[in-house]
Amino acid sequence: MVVQRSLFLLVLEQYDKGVIMPKGMNDFAVQESVAPYTKAVVAIVNTEVSACRAIYMIADTAPVLTINGVAVTFTGLKAGQIYPLCVTKSNSANVIFLY
């Protein structure tokens, strides 16, 4: 009797042996790499984080965002929108940092 193994299990075994390496951002074609974000982190109020690629607003607020070491109040930011800002700190938990 022949037992067929799923492709997933075969790939998983190869990965465990180090034959297949996970892809990094530089390993993707342009069409894939412009799909933009690989991680999302909810802001912890007044806590410094690594610089993000963009922010997503959870609610309509006017957060004070730290950009390049300068705290700036942004008014009129709308909930459900992504803004391409390189932010390191927020005074609002209504901000999600996108990496």
Number of Cβ within 10 Å of residue 55's Cβ equals 25
Strands 82-83 and 64-67: unpaired
Q: Which residues pair with 41 in a beta bridge?
A: 97
Which tokens is 60 given?
């309509």
Torsion (CA) 30, 85, 56, 90 in degrees, nearest 10: 140
pTM: predicted TM-score of the whole model, two decimal places = 0.65
Decide if 38 is inside a domain.
yes
Of the two residues 11 and 97, the one the predictor is more confident about is 97
Decide if 1 is inside a domain.
no
Q: Which residues pair with 97 in a beta bridge?
A: 41, 55
Domain count, the chain: 1
Decide if 74 is inside a domain.
yes
Domain span holding position 92: 7-98
pLDDT tens for residues 40-54? Answer: 999 999 999 999 989
